[in-house]
Amino acid sequence: MRIREGDPLEIYTDAGGEVIFKKYSPIGELSTFASQYAEALLRGTQLAVIICDRDHCVAAAGISKKEVLERRNSAALDEIMQSRRLYTARADESVAALDGVERDMCVAAPIISAGDVTGAVVMLAGEAAKVPTETDIKLIQVAAGFLGKQMEE
């Protein structure tokens, strides 16, 4: 379950009085909105987009949702989020966004809300182009910034 210090938790009790802790995902609360945003990015770039919380994919467009939703983030994507920096692929580079999914990242931007990293917006490389354009990079940055602001409100 990869609960880290500072992660928000939801606390439930069942009928028998047992306490149940569930990891809270602020981006999960925005999953419908995040899916719509991913669809808009797909229409603008023709490249698949996924939106992840700190642990797994919560929204996708341009790739089979069955293939990616609820898949765990790769170690590389975790590192990108921890670094709080934009990732852009080089032509000779191959970095997976999700465990068990063969599609490589071409751009990834961490979503930062109230000073905390809450997820990432990731554009996946297409068949023809692995190197993102300046427009692709800006769109992913804007998406990450916008989603971060949405969670603050």
CA distances in angstroms from 62 to 19, 25, 36, 76, listed in the order given: 39, 23, 12, 21
pLDDT tens digits, the chain, 153 residues: what are they? 466 666 666 677 888 878 776 665 555 566 788 889 899 999 988 899 999 988 889 999 999 988 898 899 999 999 999 999 999 988 778 889 999 988 889 999 999 988 889 899 999 987 766 678 899 899 999 999 999 888 777
Q: What does pTM read for this prediction? A: 0.79
Q: Provide CB contacts within 8 A for 127, sequence distance 6+.
A: none
Question: What are the DSSP E strand ranges found in the chain?
Answer: 9-13, 19-23, 49-53, 57-61, 87-88, 105-113, 116-124
> Are 107 and 122 in contact, with CB atoms under 8 Å apart?
yes
Please name each of the domains of the chain with its CATH number: 9-152 (3.30.450.40)
At 6, phi and psi to the nearest 5?
90, -10
